[in-house]
Amino acid sequence: MRSDKGKTSGSRVIFTNKNRASILLHKPHPRKELLAYQVKQLIEVLSQEGLL
């Protein structure tokens, strides 16, 4: 996991793997749960990478 902290990065987090595509997510705030569209996007990426 890598956090891109900078003036314009907001609360984005990148999960990296040298053998797979990186996944960029926005940390939900103030809540701690992901929204439905975020879960759908995550499932799509994981499926495309053969991880689901």
What stretch of H or E contains 13? Answer: strand 12-17
pLDDT of 14? 83
pLDDT, mean of residues 19-31: 79
pLDDT of 29? 75
CB 17 within 8 A of CB 31: no
Is pLDDT at 48 greater than 70 in this prediction? yes
Identify the bridge partners of residue 4 per DSSP, sorted by sequence position: none
In tens, the pLDDT along 26-44 reads: 777 778 888 898 899 889 9
What's the structural domain count of the chain?
1
Residue 3 binned pLDDT confidence (cut-offs 50, 70, 90): low
Question: Which of these, 37, 7, 38, lies nearest to 24 by C-alpha position?
Answer: 38
Residue 25's domain comprises: 2-48
